[in-house]
Structure 1
Amino acid sequence: MSIAQKPAGKVRWGIGLLLGAGTVVNYLDRVNISVAGEHMAKQYGWSHTELGMLFSAFFWSYTLAQIPVGAILDKTGVKWVNRVGTLLWSIATLLTALLGGFAGIFIMRMILGIAEAPAFPANSKATGYWFPLAERGLATSLFDGAAKFSNVIGVGVSTWAILNWGWQGAFIVTGLINLVFAIAFWIFYREPWEHEKLSSEEREYIEKNGAQVQGQASGAFLDNLLVLFKNRKVWGLTIGFMCYGYSFYLFLTWLPNYMTQQLHVSMVKGGWYTIIPWVVATITDILIGGWAVDYFISKGKDPNKVRKTILILGMLFGAFILLEPTTSNPTLQVTYLSIALGGLAFSAPVGWSIPALIAPKGMVGSVGAIMNFFNNLMGVLAPIITGVLIDRTGSFNTGFVIAGVLILFGILSYVFILGDIVPIEE
């Protein structure tokens, strides 16, 4: 398909940056507890197993909400779903600081999971609406890279807040930041067909070059869901992405504790060590998973081959996590973690772009929700399994081995089950 000359308008990139900013504040709510967890555990006398359960509480409700959220998005669109979600997750974060004890915090984390459930499927759907195929890689990497960048600033912000006001400070500061974004999203986000500042020239460019058009799935929700669950491509994508997700959520929830407990460094130094892999991940996500994908496609390379190559290569680098248990040298440990997380990071935008590339008309949200449902099951399992293993072995090593083996299974799924990244036949 030929690509029309790019118009002068840049409204779509403003929307892309808004989605990215939303992901940054969204992930602050996941980073804050990973930094505060050690301090909370000391205050309340929790074991690593209990702390792992608390880390996973968010993902219990977040995961269960994915399928219905996908259906709601396909019926109502992005604007109102995310407006309600941003307001609710801001309130839930702030209330966490006011509650004490395992049960109260656990409940608030579950409410937070429900509120944030639409975020990534909505971003995927909004990107499909707002960006032509040739810009989809970079557009997707803006919100996916923001998830990694949030860890860079989130670790620092949460550490600073905890040092000044205790663990409650991490939730108060991040909750207020989220509330500011909720107001901004309410004011600035519109769907393409209702955006007053989107010129007819830019809209034509978006629509004629592969953006998803406004529309709903033609059948009943359960019938459509059954069709998707029977589809090989959907399962190939889902299995591969959930294998990526296990490692990602292990890093997201346990990395600050790993740095202080296994490397035996202070909270501040451990914070700096934690930031390094996430900086690498942010850079590779945007430059390789985003810009490089669009660049090679714009130069006439086969889009399927470009996306599959980046997808598999990133997972192969992710398998470097298997080397983590082979050394006790802090420099090598941080290096292996940075390579693994950097690789996983640049595979992720490709994964997130696939629902909009393969889904039948009106089912992008549902495909993304299925993928994210099983991906976030790993968010439930990885923190708990890792916590149990730490209590039983006194080490993170077995947890890293499990993550590495799953990455290898994910590669096999992408290669042999997903197949070519082309639309599902209707």
Structure 2
Amino acid sequence: MQPDVMTRRQSVPRRRWWIGIFVGIGILVNYIDRVTLSVAAPQLSEAFNLTPGDIGILFSAFSWAYALLQIPAGVVLDRYGVTRVGRWGAFLWAVSSVITALASGFGGLVAARFLLGVAEAPGLAASSKATGYWFPRAERALATSIFDASAKFANVIGVPLIAFVVVTFGWRWGFWMSAALSLVYFAGFCIVYRDPSQDARLSRDELAYIQQGGATPEGQSATGTAGMLGYLLTNKKVWGLTIGYSAYDYAFYLFLTWLPSYLVTTMHMSVLHSAGYAMIPWAWATFTDVFIGGWIVDHLIAKGHDESGVRKAVLVFGMICALAILGVIGTSDPRWAIAWISVSLGGLAIAGAVSWSIPSLIAPQGGVGTVSGIMNCVGNVMGAVAPALTGFIVSATHSFENAFWVAGVVIFAGILSIVFVLGKIEPIPGPSGEQRRTADAARSI
């Protein structure tokens, strides 16, 4: 980075970083909403006489709704913007948690989790879009890693906090707590968040710095949201990113949903003891996410290394580390199990941070939400498959070993997609006039 650029970065105000942290808090809250069920699963199993297969279906109910609505949510996000969609989403997080706390049977639990999937569908795409608006390209990796790391850090503070509440007061109180957190964030979002052009607290100097540094332009695509969707669905670069991210999501959701139960059933720990152990890999993942997936990437690019090469190399490195999930197979010592899981989750965190920085770097104007939606839709189909398939494998074999083998194969397929399909990380050209006419004709059929 040139000295004059560095000097300018240090001299401009830092409103953008406060917005980045606030967006990260939102992801922290909605991931606490998600992990509450994982912590409460043993009590729910006893209360409603649920099998591991039932629990797997319950885990995946969220993911199916979340996955199926990713593309529509991305289109809606590009149409109505981060501010409006973000407010409604945060409000519905709280509603879902309240319904879960009041549930009287398995059907009610499934319905509440499905609603949570609907409510949180725009969350990560909105964070990616907001980060694209608020940060220049040179700061995008670190800014993205803030909200991506929040998803991991939710397990560091959320799992022990919810475990304490669940053990002390019962599983319903865990969901009452997550409802309260969501309501507080909803109020804060209404007060704090605006896009840069609408933020009265953003100085002219900082706005100019953000825009001149390659921030994603605000506004809709001239092609229209439906036309943009059709155009991007045919793009090889989008699918290379999507397949790689899907492999990440499969392994991530396996850990997110089944790690507490794995420690309780296979390592014979209590709920509170397992929560303490589970903090270790999630804390390590939070660190690798911000330091390697964020700061290291921005630092190497600032040193003059090729931007696309750095991002792809770090992304592949993270996915290779994620293959450490195979080291858990045959392990009976909880310390070794946690060590292997920490390496794997740390690698996944690196890959996740880089992956979520890419939509705002490759999308045409007005298409960040749509690229994010495509990526997160397919990724969360895999995220829905992971807990359900793991539950059935454990029910059939009374072991997690085959589930870990499946995750390893999926991760390897993701590595191949990143290396051979994604291509250079650079903006996708907007639809040409001919491509626009084709998209318009397709919509009229």
Is the shorter-chain TM-score for this pair beyond 0.5, marking a shared fold? yes
Taking the aligned partners of 1:106 and 1:255, their CA distance within structure 2 comes to 20
Shift of 1:200: 0.4
C-alpha contact 2:75 2:226 (8 A) present in aligned 1: no
- Paired residue type of 1:391: S
* CA shift digits 1:210-233 (9 cap, x unpaired): 101112112243322121111100
- How high is the sequence identity, in percent, across the aligned residues? 47
Taking the aligned partners of 2:70 and 2:306, their CA distance within structure 1 comes to 32
Taking the aligned partners of 1:257 and 1:386, their CA distance within structure 2 comes to 11
Shift of 1:164: 1.7
Shift of 1:40: 0.2
Residue aligning to 2:281? 277
Taking the aligned partners of 1:129 and 1:48, their CA distance within structure 2 comes to 43
Residue aligning to 1:103? 107
> For 1:180, which of 171, 179, 184 is the aligned residue?
184
Q: How does 1:94-173 map to 2 (within 5 A)?
A: 94-173=98-177
Taking the aligned partners of 1:299 and 1:221, their CA distance within structure 2 comes to 37
Shift of 1:327: 2.1
* CA shift digits 1:148-191 (9 cap, x unpaired): 00011111111111112111111011111111111111100011
Residue aligning to 1:372? 376
> For 2:74, which of 70, 73, 77 is the aligned residue?
70
Is 1:391 aligned with 2:390? no
Shift of 1:95: 2.1
Residue aligning to 2:440? none
Taking the aligned partners of 1:128 and 1:221, their CA distance within structure 2 comes to 18
> For 1:55, which of 56, 59, 73 is the aligned residue?
59
SS state at 2:419 partner: helix
* CA shift digits 1:277-307 (9 cap, x unpaired): 1011001000100111111111111111111
Taking the aligned partners of 1:400 and 1:138, their CA distance within structure 2 comes to 30
Is 1:323 aligned with 2:327? yes
Shift of 1:247: 0.2
Q: TM-score, normalised by structure 2?
A: 0.94
> For 2:346, which of 333, 342, 349 is the aligned residue?
342
Is 1:213 aligned with 2:242? no
SS state at 1:420 partner: coil
> For 1:85, which of 86, 89, 95 is the aligned residue?
89
Shift of 1:98: 1.0
Is 1:255 aligned with 2:274? no
SS state at 1:97 partner: helix
Deviation >4 Å, runs of 4+: 1-4
C-alpha contact 2:79 2:225 (8 A) present in aligned 1: no
Shift of 1:14: 0.7
Is 1:294 aligned with 2:298? yes
Give structure 2 stretches of 5+ with no counterpart: 431-445
Taking the aligned partners of 2:305 and 2:104, their CA distance within structure 1 comes to 56
Shift of 1:270: 0.9
- Paired residue type of 1:144: D
Shift of 1:326: 3.1
Residue aligning to 1:402? 406
Query: What is the Cα-based RMSD across aligned positions, in Å?
Result: 1.1
Taking the aligned partners of 1:86 and 1:351, their CA distance within structure 2 comes to 24
Shift of 1:254: 0.4
- Paired residue type of 1:418: L
C-alpha contact 1:94 1:176 (8 A) present in aligned 2: no
Residue aligning to 2:428? 424
Q: TM-score, normalised by structure 1?
A: 0.98
Shift of 1:269: 1.1
Q: How does 1:29-40 map to 2 (within 5 A)?
A: 29-40=33-44
Residue aligning to 1:224? 228
- Paired residue type of 2:51: S
Taking the aligned partners of 2:136 and 2:118, their CA distance within structure 1 comes to 30
- Paired residue type of 1:323: G
C-alpha contact 2:28 2:153 (8 A) present in aligned 1: yes
C-alpha contact 2:35 2:159 (8 A) present in aligned 1: yes
Give structure 1 stretches of 5+ with no counterpart: none
- Paired residue type of 1:208: Q
Taking the aligned partners of 2:225 and 2:180, their CA distance within structure 1 comes to 37
Shift of 1:323: 1.4
Taking the aligned partners of 1:162 and 1:372, their CA distance within structure 2 comes to 31
Taking the aligned partners of 2:55 and 2:394, their CA distance within structure 1 comes to 11
- Paired residue type of 1:296: L
SS state at 1:275 partner: helix
